[in-house]
Amino acid sequence: MTAAHLSLLYRGQLSSCNYDCPYCPFAKTYDSRAALRRDAQDLQRFVDWVSAQSRPISILFTPWGEGLVRRHYREAMIALSNMPQIRRVAIQTNLCVGTRWLDEANLQSLALWCTYHPGQVKRAAFLARCHELARRGVRFSVGMVAMLEHVDEIEAMRSELPEGVPLWLNAYDERPADYYTPEQVRSLEDVDPHFGFNLDPRPSLGAPCLTGESVLSVDGSGHVRRCHFVATPLGNLYDGSFEAQLRPRTCPNTRCDCYIGYSHRPDLPFQRDYADGVLERIPRKVG
């Protein structure tokens, strides 16, 4: 009997980024050569482990910094996308790299979670890359941090993105109380109907959550936790000790305000509204 489907949220050691976003602790940080080498070795070990699995697996890479500027992430995405047991392999990226590397990828399983950071890249350049992804038939979402000074950018991005590409919005984390007026919230919800869940996260303590059962967080050493936000260890990927830990669980945290967390709560609409696009944040087409 084939084991049940697993979604893995992989976050290795890499924590460097070529961009300088004002809302990010990883802006313009550098990894040493040794750290990058270690990250590449860890990632290869992960890819090798996945290649030996027969169970269906989906993967989202959630690096602290930017992964696709590193060849080892591009090669891992290509290799994983071509494995028959992979349902989806996606990565969060600022889309600063070209698209030629995708020539060798299997676009049936590969997807990109792209974030547009106004101030770091010109809108026209970002959009040109989005149109190139669409021309290639790549599955991708685009998102932005909904800072009020970027409202015009959000509207422009919405109207200029290729048809069918979803634009998700995260609330600005450092906002003061009453940062958004009700009218602004409504117009942001017109762009992303699920914005309210990010702006005003539902209480999570005791809520059911698929993490720890069919969704796991994995670090570069293979340490498994249920999600990026709960520190309790659940064994290791590479010695198989995580298997005995898989079971239905409720959330031990009072608050879960990040999409890569709360989207796995079956009491919220994400499992239904995004279906097989949950990891890359692409709602299913309605109608």
List residues near ligand SF4 by CB under 6 A.
17, 19, 21, 24, 26-27, 65-66, 94, 117, 204, 209, 211, 226-227, 229-230, 251, 253, 256, 261-262, 264-265
Residue whose token pair is 């049936």 = 108
Which CB atom, from 104 or from 173, has the smaller least distance to ligand SF4? 173
We find the least distance from the C-beta atom of residue 2 to ligand SF4, in angstroms, to be: 25
Query: Which residue number, 79 or 227, has a Cβ lying nearer to ligand SF4?
Result: 227
Spatial contact of 11 and 67, defined as CB atoms under 8 Å apart:
no
* CB closer to ligand SF4, 88 vs 225: 225
Shortest distance, CB of residue 249 to ligand SF4, whole angstroms?
A: 7
Residues 6+ apart with CB under 8 A from 58: 5, 6, 7, 8, 86, 87, 88, 89, 279
138: nearest Cα among 83, 78, 182, 191: 78
| Least Å from the CB of residue 139 to ligand SF4 | 20
CB of 25 to ligand SF4, least distance (A): 7
Nearest to 218 by CA among 230, 244, 236: 236
Nearer to ligand SF4, 85 or 150 (CB): 150
Cβ 182 to ligand SF4, closest distance in Å?
Answer: 27
Q: Give dist(CA 154, CA 157) in Å, integer.
A: 5
Alpha helices for 5-137 (secondary structure H): 33-51, 71-81, 123-136
CA distance 119 to 144: 12
Query: For residue 196, how many C-alpha atoms fall within 13 Å in the half-sphere facing its CB?
Result: 11
Closest CB to ligand SF4 among residues 7, 109: 7
Smallest separation, CB 273 to ligand SF4 (Å): 17
**Cβ 245 vs Cβ 235: under 8 Å:** yes
Buried b (16+ CB within 10 A) or exposed e, 111-146: bbbbbbbbebbeeeebbebbebbbeeebbbbbbbbb
As measured in angstroms, the least distance from the Cβ of 134 to ligand SF4 is 21
Nearest CB to ligand SF4, comparing residues 264 and 281: 264
- Shortest Å distance, C-beta 287 to ligand SF4: 30
Alpha carbon distances (Å) from 189 to 167, 168, 180, 198, 263:
11, 9, 12, 11, 17
Give 24 or 167: the residue with its C-beta nearer to ligand SF4.
24
If the CB atoms of residues 59 and 79 are measured against ligand SF4, the closer one turns out to be: 59
